[in-house]
Amino acid sequence: MRKLSIAPTLAAAAVAGVFAVTVAFVLDPVALAQDKPAAEKPAAPPMTDQEREIAKRIYFERCAGCHGVLRKGATGKNLEPHNAMKLGQRRLETITALGTDGGMVNFDDILTKEEITIIAKYLQHPPDVPPEWGMKDMMASWKLIVPPEQRPKKQMNKYNLANVFSVTLRDSGEVALIDGDTKQVINIVKTGYAVHISRLSFSGRYVYTIGRDGLTSLIDLWMEKPEVVATLKAGIDARSVDTSKFKGYEDKYAIVGTYWPPQYVITEGDTLKPLKIVSTRGITVDGEYHPEPRVASIVSSHIKPEWVVNIKETGMILLVDYSDIKNLKTTKIESAKFLHDGGWDASKRYFLVAANAVHKIAAVDTKTGKLAALIDTKRIPHPGRGANFVHPQYGPVWATGHLGDAVVTLISTPSEKKEHAKFKKYNWKVVQELKVPGAGNLFVKTHPKSTKLWVDLPQNPERELAEANFVFDLKDLSKPPVRIDVAKDAGLPEMKAIRRAVHQEYNNKGDEVWISVWAGKTDPSAIVVYDDKTLKVKSVIKGPRIITPTGKFNVYNTQKDIY
């Protein structure tokens, strides 16, 4: 067993997270209650300028996503110096190296021993605060590489664009566009570092990517060789982007949400020119001011000219009406902390999002503009977009996995179909928990044409779990899931680092599943394609330019919000 066994108060961190720490299990409570004279208080370990620069890079790349730029915590625990110093250098190094049984990944095969020592020191010093990023900065960063009038008037290539995949190559700061029919790479384009998601315009022509470095890239799929046509640095750190999809506003606007500064920006849809910036700093659902309420996720409504904007630290869900951006109207809905990822139910009326620090799912009725339900779940739900299917006993359900528990939770969702009226009594209740071999799930995925539910466990510290996927038969959920050894099927050489099988994505027909085998930056990685019906390998996509693949976004499924 690689993981560090600790008290259950230790919360899990997500993909970018490190050091989800608590102090309750380290020091004697009596000693904590006694104030020490100033001279006896521990001092932060000294650091050289070079060590500090190394630590700043590591913290941004691996830690800030869960713990925040200011280290006040969210999915991961508060890592301000007074907490880190109570843990001490040795304990911080141990937790960083081995991970935890709460779902935090081990970093001893990602960071060197020297880097682990450096980051443990850094946490005991005050955090570095990046600069603000306003309209002047954005306009200076905006690059219109190919103006709309110079772009093609029709599709200039012969690719089946509905089945093209936009694949994040995390550590190279690139996106691979792959033909889903032939499995050949169409192009690899430079984007922001560690692209978090790709989103599609309503028309399916444009791909929008958002890097963790705040760089938004606009890719035109109609070009003979699809390429980036515009970029905008919307902030220092970011995770979310989407477009306007309501009738009459198709492809007109885009919205980019940032982690730092905590704000979102509305841009022109076909150029990324920034039009309006809105700060998200403010009061939490607990009535306290928070200086860093990050924009966690954004989705575009299909029934109104609105975006659903989820603010992590405040627990507020914003319905932003983009019909008049000069006089912006926003509905603020109180839910719970700390909001993360989520997705639509099958009807696309209700949006469900994880408040993962308090182990809840918040459901918003976008038709009425009100909170529909707040559902208790097992520890640290992490749905990605979730998965929708019709349960034989409970009707329409939406599924989420968990970073902190070994189950997949099924929640009954409303339906206006007559044949589903008998299931109304179950709505917004947890109707079943499917057991999986361990915690550490990031994504669950199915497709309307599939009878399978695929579950990954990339955050589990055990190799045999992190390198596999587990597949449930939706026709008989009483059966245990089938284990698929994705890393082995990739045919990669054995290596010390765990090769994490992550982010399942269907093709547009719903008969193939693509899974990333995410290895180290200098190690070979791959994408394994499975037949959804037989669970047999159909293809392996690999090569020297397939570097650390993570998220994969099928054009049609992303365009239509199919999951």
67 classed as catalytic:
yes
3-class secondary structure for 346-364? CCCCEEEEEECCCCEEEEE
Tokens, residue 514: 């693509």
CA dist 236 and 204 (Å) reads 28
Q: Check 196, 290, 382, 402 and give the catalytic one.
A: 382
Determine how many CB atoms are found less than 10 A away from the CB of residue 481.
21
DSSP codes of every residue in 276-317: EEEE--EE-TTS-EES---EEEEEE-SSSSEEEEEETTTTEE
Determine how many CB atoms are found less than 10 A away from the CB of residue 478.
6
Tokens, residue 183: 């499995």
125 classed as catalytic:
no
Tokens, residue 522: 């200098």
Q: Helix (H, G, I), strand (E, B), or coil: what is residue 561?
A: coil
Read off the amino acid at residue 91: R
85 classed as catalytic:
no
Q: Are 250 and 202 in contact (CB under 8 A)?
A: yes
304 closest CA partner among 353, 212, 366: 366
Q: Which residues of 150-273 form beta strands (DSSP E)?
A: 164-169, 174-179, 185-190, 197-200, 206-210, 215-220, 227-233, 237-243, 253-260, 263-268
The sign of the torsion formed by the CA atoms of 554, 559, 562, 563 equals positive
Tokens, residue 441: 């799930």
- Measured at the CA of 323, the angle between CA 321 and CA 327, to 5 degrees, comes to 75
Q: Check 67, 196, 290, 503 and give the catalytic one.
A: 67
Q: Check 196, 340, 447, 503 and give the catalytic one.
A: 340
Q: Check 104, 138, 223, 316 and give the catalytic one.
A: 104
| C-alpha dihedral (352, 459, 545, 297), degrees to nearest 10 | 20
Active site residues: 63, 66-67, 104, 340, 382
